[in-house]
Amino acid sequence: MGKKQINSKKGVYDGIKFASQLEIHCYKLLQDAGIDFGYETEVFDLMSEFHLENVLFKRKGMKGIANIGNSKVRKIYYTPDFVSDLFIIEVKGRMSQSFPLRWKMFLNTIFQTNDKRAIYMPTNRADCQLVVDDILKRFY
């Protein structure tokens, strides 16, 4: 049985393409509260691209196993939903299978770079409101 794919309902608001309706909801709350933020304006490099010179045998579709070594391994990056100088918000209604590892790598990058911003991960509409309330109380 294949992996279950997570499909959030995408949407457009204020001329911006959002990955989910929950992101739009959070965007509206932040905007209505007069909080300064950017949407997907900062990208974090979690792992640099590198060239693997080793021999590496891996299944290549119907062709069976093949040597795919001596090749480029792409970088891993992460783009949080909402960012400012004070906070980072990742709105996450449903998590993909790969997200928990990427999230840990992101948190490690935050730690390694001594980034002191508050980090939030609301998972529903009520959480989004709590996040906005906390930002207003903490920073405004």
The predicted-structure confidence for 23-68, as pLDDT tens digits, reads as follows 999 999 999 999 999 999 999 999 999 998 888 888 887 778 878 7
The CA–CA distances, whole Å, from 16 to 39, 65, 89 equal 9, 43, 17
Closest residue by Cα to residue 90 from 75, 112, 105: 105
> CA 134 to CA 117: how far, in whole Å?
13
Residue range(s) in the chain whose domain bears CATH number 3.40.960.10: 11-43+80-139
Query: pTM for this structure?
Result: 0.85
The CA–CA distances, whole Å, from 138 to 72, 80, 118, 132 equal 44, 20, 10, 10
> CA 31 to CA 54: how far, in whole Å?
50
Q: Which CATH number fits domain 11-43+80-139: 3.90.1490.10, 3.30.310.160, 3.40.50.300, 3.40.960.10?
A: 3.40.960.10
